[in-house]
Amino acid sequence: MFNKTSAEITGNGDLIDISYVFFDINDITIQNTTYNQIKDYDISINSTVVDSEFNPGTILLADNEPDSDVCAQSSFITFINFTEYNINFTFTFTRNDGQVISGSYNGYYLAP
């Protein structure tokens, strides 16, 4: 998920101040439940897109370096509601350095 519109993301223009949240749920269909085995995730802020290339800014969470501070030692994502066009969820990740990264989203969802 980006904090930009679909038109902005696909518009081929440069973008600044992007917040990016990604996690992969290993389930056939998303259920209104809590998932706690999130193995694929990335969260960054102050990112950019320049010449159609995404550049992460400040990386808050990343799964690609298990021994780094930005890797999570625990994770929880709770889906409260999920329909064809709307998604409502909360998330909490605890990083290796003990910092808790949490948030929520309730809004439009566009399937890729």
Amino acid 24 reads: D
Domain assignment present for residue 56? The answer is yes
Predicted model pTM: 0.83
**Per-residue pLDDT tens for 5-62?**
777 877 888 999 999 899 998 888 888 999 998 999 999 999 999 988 889 999 999 9
* CB-facing half-sphere around the CA of 58: CA atoms within 13 A: 5
The domain total for the chain is 1
Contact 26, 5 (CB under 8 A): no
Domain assignment present for residue 14? The answer is yes
Domain assignment present for residue 1? The answer is no
Instruction: Domain of residue 83: give its range.
Output: 6-108
